[in-house]
Amino acid sequence: MSSNTIEKPKVKFLGRQKEDFFSVLKTRIEDYLTKNKISRFADRRMYVKTAFWFGAFALLYYLIIAQVFSKPVLLVLCMLMVIVKGYIAVNVSHDALHGAYSSSPKVNRWMGFTFDIFGLSSYVWKMTHNYRHHIFTNIHGFDHDIDKSILLRLSPKDPWYSFHRFQHFYIMFLYALVGLNWIFFSDYQYIYNEYKKGGVPKDEVVPFFSFKILNIALMFVIPLTVMDITWWQFLMGYIALQMVGGFAVALVFQLAHLVEDVQFPEPNEGGLINKTWAEHEMETSANFGTNSWLTNWLTGGLNFQIEHHLFPYICHVHYKEISPIVKAAAKEYGLPYVENHSAWKAVHSHVRHLKKLGNPG
């Protein structure tokens, strides 16, 4: 296999027709943007948001390193910094990695590297999230986001074990480990497995390891060198803080696909999902808290998950404006438009969904 190719799962969707749901919807969205002279990329709102989050992270990092405040206050600042790091990932990095931040591929690539600076791999994310998850959403064995540890039963097709009865309790602890797992294990595991198969382009290997080293320098070497703190105090604090950030980010993504009323379609023996890709996305995605300005601002538009999955190449600041068009088209074509009216209701729905999957059958 060529080093620039990745073996594609043998799952197919029905082909698009001239007047089907997505063809009509895409035309309406394009007409809306054109009529209102709106670029699908970042606008002033996005630039302000980017400056705010980057500035907040830089300020917090400086205050922590300089030890301007007492240790109890530094702990609070560290918690804020790791949360801000997560918000940069979902607000800025995420759009850039979908090519939605700028019309320039170079700008998107460099903005996407903010993911790597924080210890994650933008390359692995694009392969597992942009490709696996966005195309094969909620399909057992193909969607990377639901193919997790044996401890979790996230799909009705996963094997059931008796301890799954309690997964809606212990899953919250596992969510807290997501960030640590990404940074120190799963990224390396993916690169190792794919490199053996020749599935990792050589020009991605150097950035992968370079940014991993840079993250270690920023988050370990510099703090331990300049701060008046013991290594074990630092390590305990680092782990605790990564757990806070990991929990917040993991929960946001799970509220969009692992809630009540979403579907888990299965291909037939020939690998065919008997729907178009867009219809499939309407059945497997859910919105939450779309009337809350704060939820939308903090989550980088991921609360408009339906719009994001249909149009990942549109910057998230435009999702609220195009959502009525999507919702109207869904009603017109008899397709579901699943939404929880608040983030809190989405959390409840997520827990009930996990509890249901935790039972046999």
pLDDT in tens, the chain (361 residues): 333 444 445 899 999 888 899 999 999 999 999 999 999 999 999 999 999 999 999 999 999 999 989 888 988 899 899 999 999 999 999 999 999 999 999 999 999 999 999 999 999 999 999 999 999 999 999 998 998 889 999 999 999 999 999 999 999 999 999 999 999 999 999 999 988 888 888 889 999 999 999 999 999 999 999 998 888 988 988 898 889 888 988 999 999 999 999 999 999 988 999 999 999 999 999 999 999 999 999 999 999 999 999 999 999 999 999 999 999 999 999 999 999 999 999 999 999 999 999 998 6
Angle at 92 between CA 294 and CA 303, to 5 degrees: 40
The residue segments making up the domain with residue 227 are: 12-357
Has residue 6 been placed in a domain?
Answer: no
Residue 4 lies in a domain: no
* Beta strand 272-276 pairing with 286-288: unpaired
Amino acid at the residue 272? L
Copy the structure tokens of residue 190.
């993916």
Is 7 a domain residue?
no
DSSP state of 14: E
Which amino acid is located at 55 in the chain?
G
**Cα torsion through 207, 4, 15, 263, rounded to 10:** -50
Token look-up 């990095």 returns 93
pLDDT on residue 199: 82
Residue 31, both tokens: 């007409």
Q: What contacts 75, CB < 8 A, 6 or more positions away?
A: 237
Q: Which residues of 147-159 are buried (b: 16+ CB within 10 A; e: fewer)?
A: beeeebbbbeebe
> CB of 124 within 8 A of CB of 190?
yes
At residue 152, the pLDDT reads 95
Rounded CA separation 321/32 (Å): 9
**Using an 8 Å Cβ cutoff, are 179 and 246 in contact?**
yes
Tokens representing 175? 């969510």
Asked if residue 1 is part of any domain, the answer here is: no
Q: Measured on CA atoms in the order 251, 256, 262, 264, is the torsion positive or negative?
A: negative
Is 3 domain-assigned? no
3-state helix, strand, coil in the chain (%, to 5): 65, 5, 35
Q: 357 and 333 in contact (C-beta within 8 Å)? A: no
* Residue 348 is assigned to a structural domain of this protein: yes
Say whether 290 sits in a helix, a strand or coil: coil
Count the neighbouring beta carbons within 10 Å of the beta carbon of residue 347. Answer: 16
| Alpha-carbon gap, residue 316 to 92, rounded angstroms | 10
Question: Is residue 246 within 8 Å of 173, Cβ to Cβ?
Answer: no
Reported pTM: 0.92
**Domain tally, the chain:** 1
Instruction: For residue 187, tell me if it sits in a domain.
Output: yes
Residue 302: closest CA among 246, 252, 251: 252
Within a domain: residue 148? Answer: yes
